[in-house]
Structure 1
């Protein structure tokens, strides 16, 4: 085990200890748990590293495309920030429980380039069981031969939500590949009308216990019709059939989305925070 700045790099020998921690907080840890369940802790297969502080894994943090603190007090978060600072920023965001992300960001802010945006309050919501409203019968899984029709809606959602065009830098090849993965896995859903996407969403992470819904989007010309509510319900239903808890997180200022999710039956259990670069 490599020790740098008080934090150590974990490997597959630590897999069961890590899994027990992830299982204790299944909703907040869904993004990382989904990876660990499939890939273990080997960084190459995992697509990132898991760092720990303390012999009993008193602190735990994932470092990959996103930096995700999962557990730890202020001293552990300081150790993770030290290690992240030494490595240099390679992540596009710091995301997770607000009570972990915000203190960690305090340690990183003066050393990393200014954040493009700090979203300090993002309700983390869950729904165990079927939706409280009938799902949209026209929302279905997207087929691979529909990728080119689905992709413009995915780009529009990402640009609107994150504030940058996901095609920047490589002409969209990387983003197209990520969307294609979700489509191929049967985790991208849409309502098509005359060949155009009017609603879309994805199950972005799927662990043994939780499915995290992401990328909920309604075509601007169709907003206010309730498509977001019944469309989201159409993703909750298959998750309920699989025995998974449905989860998502939303910006606190997005009152229409929060109202729609409440109608579906979601309730808040915690708050996330995201630091965007």
Structure 2
């Protein structure tokens, strides 16, 4: 009979955890990028990393921080993670990950954690290793400088509020969100087109590992929508990402956002899987 156990991983477990994360580098890019920088120390990582063991071998992970993220988790591992999460109580603002394990995790947690503010059960995961020749990158999209943070911030807040449904300035006054925006600018992973002092297009490379990176925060100013800026802007960001960051670029998008999915396909992305997000 298979012996299983679940525990919080320690720094000495880093090698085994990275092996699991790197087995699916695109799907795991968000958590892998954090672990590669911070290791498994909860204070530096911003949360605990739970490990599920079968017959003494680490098989699955679950990141438990601001997000709850099941990683390479089959049904038995998901049930074990749900038991631990239920005992600990909800500390996260969302559950996010590949659709199948995330859906099971939410079914197990919903009786105690629900209701959710919103459930996005079908978010296509899109991937590319090369840009399409059909879209010319916008030459005015460029890296944002540190001294342009205040110019970029209103666009970031507008994007977040539109996408998530709440302002990132709520709660702590936006200190954590502003720190994250500044971090991406400092890392050279924030891009925008600025016309007459205003952002008309923006996007960031949020998660980045040597194997894969993930574009996030794509936004076009409302008065400029319908002009193709999302396509030419994304083509420009994709060019930077492939040249400077990783050989594979991904993103995930809401299934109902038909214009965005069409634009990303034109730029060169293809749908390879499905994510799911539960927002609290």
Normalised by the size of structure 1, how large is the TM-score?
A: 0.95
Q: 1:270 aligns with which of 264, 273, 280?
A: 273
State the SS of the aligned residue for 1:26.
coil
**Aligned-pair CA distance for 1:174:** 2.1
**Residues 9, 52 of structure 1: 8 Å contact kept:** yes
**Aligned-pair CA distance for 1:202:** 0.4
**Structure 1 residue ranges (4+ consecutive) displaced by more than 3 angstroms after TM superposition:** none
Measured in 1, the distance between the counterparts of 2:208 and 2:132 equals 18
**Residues 200, 220 of structure 2: 8 Å contact kept:** yes
Q: 2:198 aligns with which of 170, 189, 196?
A: 196
State the SS of the aligned residue for 1:110.
helix
Measured in 2, the distance between the counterparts of 1:131 and 1:68 equals 31
**Residues 127, 267 of structure 1: 8 Å contact kept:** yes
State the SS of the aligned residue for 1:201.
strand
Unaligned runs of at least 5 residues, structure 1:
none
Q: Which moved more, 1:170-179 or 1:265-274?
A: 170-179
Q: Which whole-Å deviations, capped at 9, do the CAs of 1:215-263 have from their partners, x for residues lacking one?
A: 0000000001110011111111122113431100000000000000000
Measured in 1, the distance between the counterparts of 2:219 and 2:71 equals 28
Structure-1 residue corresponding to 2:31 = 32
Unaligned runs of at least 5 residues, structure 2:
none
**Residues 200, 224 of structure 2: 8 Å contact kept:** yes
**Residues 131, 236 of structure 1: 8 Å contact kept:** no
Q: Which whole-Å deviations, capped at 9, do the CAs of 1:82-138 have from their partners, x for residues lacking one?
A: 111111111110001001100000110011141000000000010112344221100
Q: CA RMSD in A?
A: 1.3
Structure-2 residue corresponding to 1:216 = 218
Normalised by the size of structure 2, how large is the TM-score?
A: 0.94
Measured in 2, the distance between the counterparts of 1:20 and 1:6 equals 19
